[in-house]
Amino acid sequence: MATVELNGAAIVDTESFHAESQRAFGFPDSYPHTMDSWVDCLSYLRDEDGMSSIRLGPDETLHIVVLHSEAMRERAEDVLEEMAFCIIGINERYEDYGEKPALELELR
């Protein structure tokens, strides 16, 4: 299982979330730092679209670990909740295409 770690201590607002996500997921330089783009970049991890440095196999899951999640919850709870909501939506998108859900979230 592939794993990506986000440093929750570095996330204090939406902009720092996107900067940390771009680093961790290997999003392209053109990544526009919006939740719509975040969803798009993580919706095609099994395709060769170049939107992330991560490429999953057909049944592989990406384990997203938020380290220092309590620090993130204290400073950017709305961002954490939106990220969790978007992961659910992304997994539903994968299921709509007849694929296994691709993302798993762990808060540490």
What is the model's pLDDT at position 1?
83
pLDDT digits (tens, 9 = 90+) for 53-103: 999 999 899 999 999 999 999 999 999 999 999 999 999 999 999 999 999
Work out the average pLDDT over 1-26.
97
pLDDT digits (tens, 9 = 90+) for 36-50: 999 999 999 999 888
Residue 1, CA distances (Å) to 58, 62, 106 in order: 12, 6, 13
What is the model's pLDDT at position 70?
97
pTM: 0.94
